[in-house]
Amino acid sequence: MVCEKGMLNTEIDRSSYVPFYIQVMDALKEYMDQGDVKAGEQLPGEPELCRIFDVSRTVIRQALKELEYEGLIKREKGRGTFVAEPKIGESLFQELTGFYQDMEAKGFSSGSKVLKQELVPASAKVAKHLAIDPETQVIQIDRLRFIAGEPIVLVSAYLPYTLYPKLLDADLAQQSLYAFLEREYEIEIARSHRIFEAVPANEYEAELLQVNKGAPLIMLDSVSSLEDGMRFEYYHALHRGDRSRFEVDLVRAPESVNVDSGLQQGAMTLSVKGN
């Protein structure tokens, strides 16, 4: 593919402190953002980009590498570089909802492949999250979640068997887990504590999510509780970093509200791990 004159800003400011590869990145981002190329269309190859930007191949490779990390392009060996599909905005950070309901509200067609749905003894980690004794029987549900046929999320959910025995035989391939619980047990989520963290995909996760081993994933750990404070679900989800982004709306609390109450909608705590 050759860019048409005027569509791509190829000027490099050689007196700027901004590295050349960043300038190339910004130019390509603007080119994609203004709609000159659409998702799935091919970008110029490395030799052509070297020529039109008048920079070395090292600069072009670094720029493309960073764009790939951001999920804006896809590079296919032997074929070239292509504009990636836009990321799917998710609201699981700020809303008490599940993936199925969230995607349905946004107009996406979603589905699930149930990988595991059986009775298991609670591990120490699961027991701690659910505030139950280790070895207590829980229902483990592993699902691969899809949007328009593309794998997006790998999730494992754990719920106490004594509370929701019907769940062991529920068909969760085309329905929401939360909708099933609300219908069969008339429960309503009152609170959820959710933690987000960036993690690399292991071999198993990469195969299921159709990404490379080590690719960035967004891990979401969640413990949900009922109105009386009882914890009824712990789930561990891995979202593809190249196809997912999380959205949150923040509203400043009135000055009359105690500062410790924080924001009215969508609160976030940042923790930094040391070595």
Q: Which amino acid is at 133?
A: D
Q: What is the pLDDT along the chain (275 residues), one digit of tens a residue?
A: 445 544 788 888 898 888 899 889 888 888 887 766 777 788 888 999 999 999 999 999 999 988 887 777 888 877 888 887 665 544 444 444 545 555 455 455 567 899 999 999 999 889 999 999 999 999 999 999 888 788 989 999 999 999 999 999 999 887 888 888 889 998 888 888 888 888 888 999 999 999 888 888 888 888 999 989 899 999 999 998 887 776 666 667 666 555 444 444 444 443 434 33
pLDDT at residue number 162: 94
- Give the C-alpha distances (Å, rounded to integers) separating 212 from 28, 63, 100, 201, 261: 24, 20, 25, 8, 42
DSSP string of 171-187, one letter each residue: --SSS-HHHHHHHHH--
Q: How is the chain split into domains, by residue range?
A: 20-83, 88-261
Residues composing the chain = 275
Which value, to the nearest 10 degrees, does the dihedral of the CA atoms of residues 6, 9, 12, 13 take? 100
Q: What is the SS3 assignment for 238?
A: strand
DSSP strand pairing (244-246 vs 231-240): unpaired
Alpha helices in the chain (DSSP H): 20-33, 46-53, 57-69, 99-105, 124-130, 177-185, 203-209
Beta bridge partners of 83: 73
Count CB-CB contacts under 10 A for residue 52: 17
Distance CA 114, CA 143 (A): 4
Reported CATH class of domain 20-83? mainly alpha
Distance CA 102, CA 116 (A): 23
Superfamily holding 88-261 = Chorismate lyase-like (3.40.1410.10)
pTM here?
0.61
Count CB-CB contacts under 10 A for residue 134: 12
